[in-house]
Amino acid sequence: IITPREEEPQILVPMIDVFVAYPGASPQEVEARVTKPMEKLLWEIKGVEYIYSIVKPGFNLTIVRFYVGQSMEESIVNLNNKLSANYDRIPPGVSPPLIKQRSIDDVPILTLTLWSDSDRYSGYELRRIGAELCDEIKKDQDVSEFALIGGQKRQVRITLDPARLKAYHMSALQITSALQKANILLPSGSFSTGNREYLVETGSFLKNSEDVGNVVTGLFNGRPVYLRDVAAIADGPEEPAGYVFMGLGKAAAQKGIKSEAAGPKEAVTLTIAKKKGANASLVAGEALAKVEALKGKLIPKDVNVTVTRNYGDTAKEKSDELLEHMLMATIAVIILIAFTLGWREAIVVAVAVPVTLALTLLINYLYGYTLNRVTLFALIFSIGILVDDAIVVVENIHRHFKLHKIEPLTAVLAVAEVGNPTILATLAVIAALLPMAF
């Protein structure tokens, strides 16, 4: 079956994140001057169901959720227009809102946890390995986004020395300004030589602690003052804001996970989400195949990669199990009809059920629907109606053949006798379920 498979159905629930920065402000100030006024504006937008806000020092995140079925494009336009029309109300020092849309496809279908029995791999090293692994996995065109949870990012930490700053008559604002000017790369023009054109760029980005230390922050007594003269510079992991640990229980051995370490180990989790309409089973399978190929190369041998979530695998298992059960049920019905009515009648049912299901899955694929737990339930429900209708029609044809001579129009008359009631009964079931689509 070429129909894409996934765990969850394609439900249209527009969700939009609104990011606002307010540098230097406390959470109370952010809430009073940014969060509450913005929430009042957002509630005026048509179709908004819920609004959630997260406030941190110098930062606000507001999540706007619209009603199910609302158009994502229309929701984004309405929200953007509402915020743009009130830009004049933004307090001084507050950044313009940054809008980012979200959908059901942003839920990760695959999570991989990197950990090691060895103490040589801290969260910093594991995150570095995870970042390189992300660069390889994101080459798959069906991967929409990914994220790393846990570990520490690389950070160049600058600790200013107040005594040295005072001695050189400098301030922290001067240091900030010097760093911003030094960490920039700008196009400065071009020149031609012969049949070639060369682009000229000015400046460069800071790459390590040595580059940061060589930044000129000012002059003192006619001599340049470097950043290393007024601050201590360290290149290493950032201060941890959270932790991820891998703990193994009794079920670990059943999954083939072996560990000689006692207690939880520091870990990093990689999450992978697929694009809309992509086959979750194929995306997860290709990602896992790439991980296996990179073991011993990009991934060290003493670093373990454990699959902690795989919606693609569960979606494949459920769909395969359902199709297997449907096939068994169809065979059972065919055998039952063959013994009770005859082999001709059994052939009719044997043809009607697979052909109808094949056409249903084809239309499902052409319209871009996926095979998930909702569509699988719909197939289970419809197969019962399909078999019932086929049995009623075939049984009436069989009855007419027994009562009358076999004539060319006997089957037509038998179908006409029960055809309309059967169709009306099926339409009644459809009418009863149709409101669920709205």
> Which CATH number characterizes residue 76's domain?
3.30.70.1430
- Smallest CA-to-CA distance from 329 within 282, 382, 284, 374 is with 382
Q: Mean of the per-residue pLDDT values for the chain?
A: 84
Q: Which two tokens stand for residue 385?
A: 């109606």
Same domain, 205 and 278: no
How many C-beta atoms lie closer than 10 Å to residue 122's C-beta? Answer: 14
Q: Tens of pLDDT along 171-230? A: 888 998 899 888 888 888 888 887 888 888 888 888 888 999 999 998 888 899 999 999
Q: Per the domain annotation, does 182 fall within a domain?
A: yes
Give the domain extent around 130.
107-153+241-313
Same domain, 263 and 400: no
Maximum mean pLDDT: which of 26-35, 187-196, 244-253, 257-266: 26-35
CB 173, CB 23: distance < 8 Å: no
Same domain, 380 and 431: yes
State the Cα–Cα distance between residues 130 and 117, nearest whole angstrom. Answer: 17
For the chain, the domain total comes to 4
Same domain, 358 and 420: yes
pLDDT at 10: 72
pLDDT at 374: 77
State the Cα–Cα distance between residues 307 and 21, nearest whole angstrom. Answer: 36
**What is the arithmetic mean of pLDDT over 152-175?**
90
Look at residues 77, 104, 131 and tell me which one is the last residue of a structural domain: 104
State the Cα–Cα distance between residues 126 and 136, nearest whole angstrom. Answer: 16
Could you tell me the pTM of the whole model?
0.70
Radius of gyration of the chain (CA): 32
pLDDT interval class at 16 (50, 70, 90)? very high
pLDDT at 1: 57
Q: Per the domain annotation, does 349 fall within a domain?
A: yes
Quick check: 262 pLDDT over 60? no
pLDDT interval class at 254 (50, 70, 90)? low
Same domain, 270 and 416: no
Look at residues 183, 206, 237 and tell me which one is the last residue of a structural domain: 237
* Tokens 């020149």 -> residue: 191
**What is the arithmetic mean of pLDDT over 272-276?**
85
372 or 243: which leads in pLDDT:
243
Q: Per the domain annotation, does 99 fall within a domain?
A: yes
pLDDT at 167: 92
CB 397, CB 36: distance < 8 Å: no
Same domain, 100 and 188: no
How many C-beta atoms lie closer than 10 Å to residue 84's C-beta? Answer: 10
Same domain, 134 and 277: yes
Same domain, 262 and 134: yes
Q: Per the domain annotation, does 319 fall within a domain?
A: no
Q: Per the domain annotation, does 327 fall within a domain?
A: no
CATH number where 231 lies: 3.30.2090.10
CATH number where 306 lies: 3.30.70.1320
Same domain, 192 and 128: no
Same domain, 136 and 181: no
**What is the arithmetic mean of pLDDT over 272-280?**
82
Q: Per the domain annotation, does 40 fall within a domain?
A: yes
pLDDT interval class at 77 (50, 70, 90)? very high
Give percent above pLDDT 90 in the chain: 20
393 or 15: which leads in pLDDT:
15
Q: Tens of pLDDT along 277-319? A: 777 888 888 889 999 999 888 888 888 888 888 887 777 777 7
Task: Write the DSSP assignment of 209-273 as a string of letters.
Answer: HHHHHT-EEEEETTEEEEHHHHEEEEEEEPPPS---EE---GGGGGGT------S-EEEEEEEEE
pLDDT at 318: 76
Q: Per the domain annotation, does 10 fall within a domain?
A: no
**What is the arithmetic mean of pLDDT over 71-80?**
90
Same domain, 128 and 248: yes
**What is the arithmetic mean of pLDDT over 398-424?**
79
Quick check: 26 pLDDT over 80? yes
Q: Tens of pLDDT along 421-435? A: 888 888 888 888 787
Look at residues 104, 136, 169 and tell me which one is the last residue of a structural domain: 104
Q: Tens of pLDDT along 102-117? A: 877 788 888 999 988 8
Same domain, 59 and 127: no
**What is the arithmetic mean of pLDDT over 27-32?**
91
Q: Per the domain annotation, does 85 fall within a domain?
A: yes
pLDDT at 256: 66
